[in-house]
Amino acid sequence: MQLSRFRVLCTFPEGLIPQRVQDEIRTTPGVRGVTGCIVWADTLDSAFRVREVAKSAGGKVKIYEAVVDGGEYRFECQGKGTCCSEAYILVLPDEANMISEYLGVSIDDFLDEFCEIATPHDSLSTIKLKTRPNGKCIFFEDDKCRIQPVKPGECSIYPIIPHEGAIWWVHGPGSGKGRQYTFYEIKKLAGERYRKVKDYCDAYAKLLSEGRDQDSILDILFKKIEKN
């Protein structure tokens, strides 16, 4: 199956897209195919139509566009907290220290109160911000970010997401509004974020190869505890 530029993530309480919904989505003009929870669409309009079908069936939908040279990318924050509802807001060590200093708390208290260890993947554990029962980030209060001046890089470059060797643009309430981002600007922001995450992964992998366990690795990277 040839993959398309638009990727529509459809999640349902029962897991995968129900078969009856898949059947309807497959008949939507511009849909290239369905793989698990991902629908591949040729145009933004067809992605929007998929969103309507999935949402009417009780699903949650997120539209990603692969960033290409020549595309038009505009974004302006609408203050709706959409980007603050991401399930995974990664926090890197330097970011954790900046946020804890901004809040006036110790790094230990910051990690204990506001963060949690993300589900390990390929033996690599990361720290993410906690979310409230409503799915919003723990720092999203009164329709604004409590740590706006020092928010993680993951938030700063939204709706840009570097992932799996590609750069994705998330379509949300602020898409198509505000100033335009050039392809090279997006590429630069994504590249900087990718390098910072890669540096974290490389440091983690090195400690792992030395026989360190998860707790000691995170202590060394986040709490700056010296290796014995």
pLDDT tens digits, 186-212: 999 999 999 999 999 999 999 999 999
pLDDT tens digits, the chain, 228 residues: what are they?
446 799 999 999 888 899 999 999 999 999 999 999 999 999 999 999 999 999 999 999 999 999 999 888 999 888 777 788 766 789 999 999 999 999 999 999 999 999 998 865 566 788 999 998 888 899 998 888 999 999 999 899 999 998 877 899 999 888 888 889 999 999 999 999 999 999 999 999 999 999 998 889 999 999 876 665
**pTM reported for the whole predicted model:** 0.84
HSE-CB at 54 with a 13 A cutoff on CA atoms is: 27
Report angle CA 15, 23, 37 to the nearest 5 degrees.
Answer: 30
pLDDT tens digits, 32-42: 999 999 999 99
Q: Which value, to the nearest 10 degrees, does the dihedral of the CA atoms of residues 139, 144, 148, 151 take?
A: 40
Angstrom distance (rounded) from CA 187 to CA 12: 32
Q: Tokens for 115?
A: 């963060």
Angstrom distance (rounded) from CA 89 to CA 100: 16
CB of 61 closer than 8 Å to CB of 10: yes
Block residue for tokens 């995170």: 218
Angstrom distance (rounded) from CA 192 to CA 185: 11
* Strand runs labelled E in 21-148: 31-35, 38-41, 60-66, 73-75, 90-91, 115-117, 127-129, 140-141, 144-145
Block residue for tokens 């998929």: 50
